[in-house]
Amino acid sequence: MSQCACPGFLTSTVGKKFIVALTSLLWVVFVFVHMSGNFLIFKGAEAYNRYSYALTSNPFIYAIEFLLVALLLTHAFVALSLKFRNWRANPKGYAVRPSAEKSSSFSSRTMAYTGPMILAFLIWHLATFKYGPTYTVTYDGLEMRDLFRLVSEKFQSSVYVVLYGVSLFFVWLHLQHGVKSLFQTLGINHPRYNSLLKTFSCIYAFVVSVGFLSQPIYIYFVRP
């Protein structure tokens, strides 16, 4: 009886790329859902706080958070191991960079740098909001965290808004190449619609980045 080839596959280059793509896909879905929920800030404090309360009071919240952290760390570790493997195989790089369609984009060449920047941003973001000051508010006799107040306070700072915008620039770069790559790795590619997938990746990265950025822009420039 032959042994299971699964461990060998997962440690191979192809297997590691598959892990990176799968973890990317799950985070791509989560990021879009999270961004969409943030739009409730335009509806007002109560809608935003009730949405936040519904999420944090979910009995499965800790399991979901653990899964997201595990996926993120797995993604980062495996992606960096692939990058180091490529560096070891070709430490001096290519003598002549390919041109035209075969050349790599700026976003693909900076994935190893934008990734850690995004991770640092996530830690900073969580420390500021999830573990930041706790204000409370009561709606219909139900007390909950006033996250709207905290968000409004932070985004009144021009420094915070600028740093948030710079961080989202890294997110835009990372997603632009990352989404396109996950389609290729999972086998969802074909010459007929590769250009469409590339366009979708660019649009997704733009929508997510601008969607998140709209929150601090709205608070800083529109709300009194």
CA distance 163 to 170: 11
Q: What is the pLDDT of residue 222?
A: 87
Q: What is the mean pLDDT of residues 152-159?
A: 94
Question: Could you report the per-residue pLDDT of 176-196, keeping only the tens digit for each?
Answer: 988 988 888 888 877 888 888
Q: What is the pLDDT of residue 100?
A: 44
Q: What is the pLDDT of residue 1?
A: 44
Domain 6-90+105-222 fold is 3 helical TM bundles of succinate and fumarate reductases (1.20.1300)
Q: What is the pLDDT of residue 107?
A: 83
Portion of the chain with pLDDT greater than 70, in percent: 88
Where do the domains of the chain lie?
Answer: 6-90+105-222
Q: What is the pLDDT of residue 224?
A: 60
Q: What is the pLDDT of residue 10?
A: 64
Instruction: Tell which wins on pLDDT, 222 or 135.
Output: 135
Q: What is the pLDDT of residue 64?
A: 92
Q: What is the pLDDT of residue 89?
A: 66
Angle 189-178-130 from CA coordinates, rounded to 5°: 140
Question: Could you report the per-residue pLDDT of 67-87, keeping only the tens digit for each?
Answer: 999 999 999 899 888 877 777
The 3-state secondary structure of the chain, one letter per residue: CCCCCHHHHHHCHHHHHHHHHHHHHHHHHHHHHHHHHHHHHHCCHHHHHHHHHHHHCCCCHHHHHHHHHHHHHHHHHHHHHHHHHHHHHCCCCCCCCCCHHHCCCHHHHCHHHHHHHHHHHHHHHHHHCCCCCCCEEEECCEEEECHHHHHHHHCCCHHHHHHHHHHHHHHHHHHHHHHHHHHHHCCCCCCCCHHHHHHHHHHHHHHHHHHHHHHHHHHHHHCC
CA distance 78 to 62: 24
Mean pLDDT of the chain: 86
- Range name among 11-15, 111-115, 123-127, 212-216 with the lowest pLDDT average: 11-15
pLDDT surpassing 60 at residue 121: yes
pLDDT classification of 55: cutoffs 50, 70, 90? very high
